[in-house]
Homo-oligomer: A and B are copies of this chain.
Amino acid sequence: MVAENKFDADIARDFHHVWHPCTQHKDYETASPILVERAEGIYFYDRQGKSYLDAIASWWVNLFGHNHPRLNAALTRQLENMAHVMFAGVTHQPAIDLADSLTALSPPELEKVFFSDNGSTAVEVALKMSLQYWQEKGETRKTRFVYLNGGYHGETLGALSVCGLEIFRGKFEQVLARHLPVEGPDCFRCPYGLRRESCDAECFEPMEKTLRENHDTIAGVIVEPLVQGAAGMTMYPPVYLKKLQAACEPLAIHIIFDEVAVAFGRTGSLFVCAAHGLRPTFLCLSKGITSGYLPLSATLTTDEIYSAFYGAPRKLFIHSHSYSANPLACAVANETLRMLTENNFLESLQPKIAALRECGKQFDGIAGEFRQTGMIAALELVEKKRERFPSEKRIGYQIFLEGLKRGLFLRPLGDVVYFMPPLVITEEEIAVMMNTAHDCINTVLQRG
């Protein structure tokens, strides 16, 4: 690669020195990454000024669009006081306000907030708190977690040990702790022949059996409520979660809700648990918490858990990240929560959710399924009936490339094309986004 101008020089430097996440760099030989220079609203712009509609909200994080004046102001206001101080022996108002708001807005049982930096660490904190809780209580055999096939909870090795997707864990099996995988909901290919709109989560049966037979060694169960993101935006009904709660509580099994991807308005409510009257023991949050500005995460839990760590000097929860409760990130998160809860913002999503559904109809006959939960929509493309395309066809990757040509940033998960735009997208922009995606899909499928 010979650099002929600054653009080429920068792309060459990227190629020589940057290892991107979840990227096969050989693909950059034929299609360079987009060199983004600025971002505004639901678009980002490359150096030539070409715009891209950020249809997946920059990995599901952005709620209010890029470069939002209120979020920018919250950040610069905090910067005038302090960027950061450590968070042991020290506290600060941005973190106190955020913890107060999060506990007020989430189910009443969740009273304590532990801050870390990303979704993986939020999950690691929940796993470790659950484990230590049982150790402190003398229930030393309760050391296993139950997780769903298809579940994804981050990629640090603890989070990966409760991941139910071979593609993420396969190369690392030999160092992963052995937990308990369970067949979870698979509504598109329901083995019971039922429909998610009307079933009673008959597929809860294997979970019920696993919990009943192993409860004395189970610390907790971890789930992504309603939407399993990395599995391909698979969606299942809340009745599954109600059954999970009913089964876990009498057996003294913790419930970990990983709402990293689905909280903060993404499904139409602030938190899935609160919207459905559910009481998880732990609630993991990240991504949208700063509306796509800065890394921050939170693990919420109950006073019952907290109290098991309260008392003797050595009972404490020993876990720390240097930038825990970073004041800049907390300040942006506080502004994000204000914007989510003011001016009927969540109610204002309803027409957009309806527009997304309406636009989805154009994929009848093209996609195996169009599915939607709030502001998340997904198309599962299949070869015939419900059979997957051979992976070497790279259907999803081809659609990604077609999207780029048309100024639409998609990033299909395998052959599932999904939409998770910033919540501030308009109904008109939803139509543009989905019509353009339609073009891309048609082009690729007709190519064969």
Contact = CB atoms under 8 A, between A and B. Distances in A.
Interface of A: 10-11, 13-14, 16-27, 33-39, 44, 54, 56, 58-62, 66-67, 71-72, 75-76, 79-93, 95-96, 99-100, 102-103, 111-121, 124, 127-128, 131-132, 135, 143, 155-161, 167-168, 171-172, 174-177, 286-287, 292-295, 301, 306, 309-326, 328-329, 391-392, 394, 397, 400, 409, 411
20 contacts: A11-B91, A21-B324, A22-B88, A22-B319, A34-B89, A35-B91, A36-B82, A44-B85, A61-B84, A72-B79, A76-B76, A117-B117, A118-B118, A124-B155, A127-B157, A127-B175, A155-B320, A293-B328, A295-B326, A313-B394
B316 A24 contact: yes
Contacts of A54: 85
A77 to B, nearest CB: 11
Contacts of A88: 20-23, 59, 411
Given A10-B96, A17-B111, A25-B306, 4 more contacts: A18-B325, A21-B319, A72-B83, A118-B118
Nearest to A292: B84
Given A82-B66, A293-B328, A295-B295, A21 B321 contact: yes
Given A90-B36, A394-B313, A118 B119 contact: no
A55 to B, nearest CB: 11
Contacts of A102: 17
A18 B113 contact: yes
A293 B23 contact: no
A313 B84 CA distance: 40
Main secondary structure of the interface of A (DSSP, over half): mixed
Given A82-B66, A156-B120, A322-B59, A100 B13 contact: yes
Contacts of A39: 81-83, 85
A312 B391 CA distance: 12
A157 B155 contact: no
Nearest to A136: B171
A95 B38 contact: no
Nearest to A124: B156
B17 A113 contact: yes
A318 B167 contact: yes
Nearest to A31: B89
A237 B176 CA distance: 34
Ranked nearest first, the 9 interchain pairs of A and B with the lowest CB-CB distance are: A157-B158, A21-B320, A295-B323, A39-B82, A17-B99, A175-B177, A58-B86, A156-B156, A24-B316
A171 B135 contact: yes
A156 to B, nearest CB: 4
A76 B316 CA distance: 38
B92 A323 contact: no
B20 A87 contact: yes
B19 A121 contact: no
Contacts of A18: 91, 95-96, 99, 112-113, 325
